[in-house]
C-alpha cells in the first residue's frame, strides 16, 4: 500500500496541495498522512474562499474525494511521522514556505513537519519541496542548494506554456503533474512535449 506524507504550510499556492491530494486519493489503496499548520488554514481561507473555523481537516474532508487520509496538527511532535520507524514512500511539502525550507536545511526539527522532513533525510527517503512564488533571495537559494545536495527534489511552482494552458487549472495541473512525475506516479494532468515532427 503506497503511503505518503503531505505537508501544507502557509505559503501561497494552496490550490497545488488540494490538486495533489485529489490525485493521490485516486490511487488504489493509497494512504495519506497530512500535516497542516495554522498558517496553512489561513491561506486556504484566503485563496480558496473556504470557511475553516472548525478545522482544516474538516474542511478538507468536505472537498476531497473519499480515501484513507490521516490528519496531524503541525504542533503534534509526538505523531507517527516524527519517527524513523514510520515507513512511507515519500514526503511532499506543498506549498513550502521559505521558513520551512530554512528549518529543514538547518535541521531545526521544532515542528512535526520539520521532524518528519528530517526523518526523510536521515533515512534517505524521497523528499519533495514545492517552494512558494517568486522572488527568491540569496538565503533562499542557498538553503535550496543545501537541500538539493542532500538529495531533496526542489520543484518550484513554475508552470510551463508549451502545452498551451488556457486556464488557471491547466497551470495548476502542470505543476502538480511535475510533482507526480518526481514521485514516479503515472498521471495525465498535462500533454507532454513530443518534439517537432519533421515532414
Known binding residue 37? Answer is yes
Known binding residue 103? Answer is no
Known binding residue 148? Answer is no
Known binding residue 132? Answer is yes
Assess contact for 140 and 107: CB atoms under 8 A.
no
Known binding residue 39? Answer is no
C-alpha cell at 137: 533571495
Known binding residue 162? Answer is yes
C-alpha cell at 20: 495533489
Known binding residue 84? Answer is no
Assess contact for 23 and 169: CB atoms under 8 A.
no
SS3 assignment, position 88: coil
150 φ, ψ to 5°? -90, 5
Known binding residue 100? Answer is yes
d(CA 145, CA 143): 5
Known binding residue 80? Answer is no
Which residues in 120-135 are b (16+ Cβ under 10 Å) and which e?
bbeeebbbbbbbbeee
124 φ, ψ to 5°? 55, 45
**CA nearest to 190, candidates 1, 181, 199:** 181
d(CA 148, CA 132): 16
Binding-site residue positions for FMN: 10-12, 37, 97-100, 132
> Residues within the annotated binding site?
10-12, 37, 97-100, 132, 162, 178
Residues comprising the binding site for dimethylallyl phosphate? 162, 178
Amino acid at each position: 500500500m503506497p503511503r505518503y506524507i503531505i505537508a501544507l504550510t502557509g505559503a501561497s499556492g494552496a490550490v497545488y496541495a488540494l490538486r495533489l491530494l485529489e490525485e493521490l486519493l485516486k490511487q488504489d489503496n493509497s494512504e495519506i498522512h497530512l500535516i497542516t499548520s495554522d498558517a496553512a488554514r489561513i491561506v486556504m481561507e484566503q485563496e480558496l474562499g473556504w470557511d475553516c473555523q472548525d478545522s482544516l481537516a474538516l474542511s478538507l474532508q468536505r472537498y476531497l474525494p473519499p480515501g484513507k487520509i490521516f490528519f496531524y496538527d503541525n504542533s503534534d511532535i509526538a505523531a507517527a511521522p516524527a519517527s524513523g520507524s514510520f515507513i512511507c514512500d515519500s514526503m511532499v511539502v506543498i506549498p513550502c514556505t521559505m521558513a520551512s525550507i530554512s528549518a529543514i536545511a538547518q535541521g531545526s526539527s521544532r515542528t512535526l513537519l520539520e521532524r518528519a522532513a528530517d526523518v526523510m533525510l536521515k533515512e534517505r527517503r524521497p523528499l519533495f519541496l514545492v517552494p512558494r512564488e517568486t522572488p527568491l533571495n540569496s538565503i533562499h537559494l542557498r538553503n535550496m542548494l543545501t537541500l538539493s545536495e542532500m538529495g531533496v527534489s526542489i520543484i518550484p511552482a513554475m508552470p510551463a506554456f508549451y502545452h498551451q494552458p488556457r486556464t488557471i487549472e491547466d497551470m495548476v495541473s502542470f505543476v502538480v503533474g511535475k510533482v507526480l512525475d518526481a514521485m514516479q506516479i503515472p498521471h495525465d494532468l498535462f500533454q507532454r512535449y513530443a518534439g517537432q515532427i519533421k515532414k
